[in-house]
């Protein structure tokens, strides 16, 4: 008589994750079969970023009577998400070390690799003792086939231009990130994959640009616009701009003052100058200084800057407000209702009301309950809080995992539709 049980059924367990290779903003499908009927299993995902930081997620399921789990139909019972959510495992990846943000830095090099493992029981953090029943690794690419990256270092302009394959010309877009500075390229390349020529534009904290943003000099952004429009693969006459956070504030200023900019997408930003004033030739808009004394420290030892930006309805706001009614082109405000960095919805509503008072009607608002400040293309898991260049304490961005992911999926499509509507249609890429 043997005391050893051979788990024969489990040994036949099969894990399928498809497609093996996909773009980072597109869906993946996970299925398991060959399990015991009603067996409780764990699906675990592990991603190691370019810096060696680990991000993990897990979800527990009960196999059905055929011994199968299909994430399109099966509800997670617990783990990093619950309920039916096909992309739940990918969208709920969390850093192993607190306050890290998952972000692709080198977008043209190797893809992110996500290792998905199937365990025959509840496993929270796999140890060497937990042998998976099966494991699959899938690739998440940022560059579609043939999309080209060109380093831009011309005149004062610093950035990276992403061009879809083929002769074009393509609708042109400038892509701006926020107060962390540097050059962030992942949204620009994902947009280029869709057929836009996109300039990821650095404006401080990169190369020989100033280390901090003391003043927003719009001539820099004008120079970048002229440069982009001169490119033979960029279709004029106008450009779009997409900005997040500080980049949103600048995007609004660009469409207001620069003739080259004909459509702006402003994601979770202020609508008046905050912290840094604006200068453009003889135009000067003074900034409202950050009310740093209004910072709130949470129980987790993190900080919320929600009140630091001051209320847009504050009467001091009038002198710092961007006169967006001067903009000819349309503005799409995209705001997250659980933004803990600033009250982006209130800012956007105040700006739209101001535009209306002046007879400007082509402003629209997309507002997402439960989404956080860092609203990005799908594929970026929620970053609730992360360490941030200019602050010593980690900064709270806010958001609820599932609502945030849904907002990213919806807004990403809407942003592309908006740009195509106002810049003209794109060609098709062929990844
Ligand atoms: C179990 O799930 C699989 C995949 O969703 C499905 O094809 C199969 O019909 C299910 N079996 C039962 C008994 O529900
Ligand atoms: C990205 O990685 C590739 C391959 O390792 C390398 O050739 C390239 O120079 C890197 N790009 C940047 C911008 O660092």
Task: Give the number of the atom of ligand 2 that is nearest the alpha carbon of residue 107.
Answer: 1
Q: How far is the CA of 97 from the centre of ligand 2 (A)?
A: 25
The protein residue whose alpha carbon is closest to atom 10 in ligand 1 is 66
φ and ψ at 380, to 5 degrees? -90, 120
Kindly state whether residues 171 and 29 are assigned to the same domain.
Answer: no
Q: How far is the CA of 30 from the centre of ligand 1 (A)?
A: 14
430 assigned to some structural domain: no
Listed residues 141, 170, 205: the one ending a domain: 141
What's 92's domain CATH number? 2.60.40.2240
Residues labelled as active-site residues = 245, 339, 373
Would you say residue 193 has pLDDT above 50?
yes
Listed residues 77, 112, 141: the one ending a domain: 141
What is the reported pLDDT for 429?
A: 45
Nearest alpha-carbon partner for 53 in 90, 115, 102, 91: 102
Question: Under a CB-based contact definition with an 8 Å cutoff, are residues 93 and 59 in contact?
Answer: no
4 assigned to some structural domain: no
> 184 vs 428, which has greater pLDDT?
184
**Could you tell me the pLDDT band of residue 368, with boundaries at 50, 70 and 90?**
very high
1 assigned to some structural domain: no
Give the mean pLDDT of the chain. Answer: 94
Q: Which numbered ligand comes closest to the C-alpha of 109?
A: 2
Task: State how beta strands 234-244 and 261-267 pair.
Answer: parallel
Listed residues 141, 162, 177: the one ending a domain: 141
Would you say residue 176 has pLDDT above 70?
yes
What is the reported pLDDT for 242?
A: 98
User: How many domains does the chain contain in total?
Assistant: 2
What pTM was computed for the model?
0.94
Range of the domain at 74: 15-141
Would you say residue 140 has pLDDT above 80?
yes
Give tens-digit pLDDT for 322-356: 999 999 999 999 999 999 999 999 999 999 999 99
**Could you tell me the pLDDT band of residue 229, with boundaries at 50, 70 and 90?**
very high
Average confidence (pLDDT) over 157-169? 96
> 195 vs 316, which has greater pLDDT?
195
Percent of the chain scored above 90 by pLDDT?
87
Q: Which numbered ligand comes closest to the C-alpha of 159?
A: 2
Kindly state whether residues 220 and 115 are assigned to the same domain.
Answer: no
Which of 111-128 are b and which e, b meaning 16 or more Cβ less than 10 Å from the residue's Cβ?
bbebbbbbbbeebeebee
Would you say residue 120 has pLDDT above 90?
yes
What is the reported pLDDT for 367?
A: 98
Kindly state whether residues 358 and 253 are assigned to the same domain.
Answer: yes
Q: How far is the CA of 64 from the centre of ligand 1 (A)?
A: 6
Kindly state whether residues 64 and 94 are assigned to the same domain.
Answer: yes
């Amino acid at each position: 008589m043997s005391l050893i049980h051979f788990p024969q059924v489990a040994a036949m367990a099969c894990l399928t994750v498809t497609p093996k290779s996909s773009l980072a903003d597109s869906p993946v499908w996970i299925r398991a079969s060959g399990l015991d009927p009603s067996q409780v299993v764990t699906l675990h995902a592990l991603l190691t970023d370019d810096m060696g930081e680990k991000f993990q997620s897990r979800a527990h399921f009960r196999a059905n009577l055929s011994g199968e789990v299909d994430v399109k139909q099966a509800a997670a019972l617990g783990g990093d998400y619950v309920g039916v959510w096909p992309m739940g495992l990918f969208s709920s990846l969390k850093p192993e070390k607190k306050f890290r943000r998952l972000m692709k830095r080198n977008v043209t090099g190797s893809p992110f690799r996500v290792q998905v493992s199937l365990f025959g029981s509840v496993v929270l953090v796999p140890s060497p003792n937990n042998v998976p029943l099966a494991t699959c690794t899938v690739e998440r690419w940022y560059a579609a086939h043939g999309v080209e990256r060109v380093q831009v270092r011309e005149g004062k302009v610093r950035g990276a231009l992403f061009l879809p394959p083929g002769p074009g010309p393509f609708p042109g877009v400038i892509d701006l990130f926020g107060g962390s500075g540097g050059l962030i390229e992942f949204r620009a390349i994902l947009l280029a994959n869709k057929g836009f020529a996109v300039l990821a534009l650095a404006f401080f904290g990169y190369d020989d640009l100033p280390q901090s943003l003391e003043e927003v000099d719009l001539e820099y952004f004008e120079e970048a616009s002229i440069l982009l429009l001169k490119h033979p693969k960029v279709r004029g006459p106008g450009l779009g701009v997409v900005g997040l956070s500080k980049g949103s504030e600048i995007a609004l200023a660009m469409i207001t003052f620069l003739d080259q900019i004909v459509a702006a997408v402003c994601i979770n930003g202020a609508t008046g100058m905050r912290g840094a004033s604006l200068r453009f030739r003889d135009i000067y808009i003074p900034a409202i200084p950050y009310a740093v004394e209004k910072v709130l420290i949470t129980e987790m030892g993190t900080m919320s800057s929600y009140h630091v930006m001051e209320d847009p309805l504050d009467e001091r706001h009038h002198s710092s407000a961007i006169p967006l009614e001067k903009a000819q082109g349309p503005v799409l405000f995209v705001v997250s209702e659980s933004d803990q960095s600033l009250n982006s919805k209130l800012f956007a509503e105040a700006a739209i009301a101001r535009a209306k008072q002046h007879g400007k009607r082509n402003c629209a608002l997309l507002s997402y309950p439960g989404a956080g400040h860092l609203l990005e293309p799908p594929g970026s898991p929620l970053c609730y809080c992360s360490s941030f260049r200019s602050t010593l304490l980690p900064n709270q961005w806010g958001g609820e995992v599932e609502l945030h992911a849904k907002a990213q999926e919806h807004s990403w499509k809407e942003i592309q539709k908006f740009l195509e509507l106002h810049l003209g249609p794109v060609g098709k890429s062929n990844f």
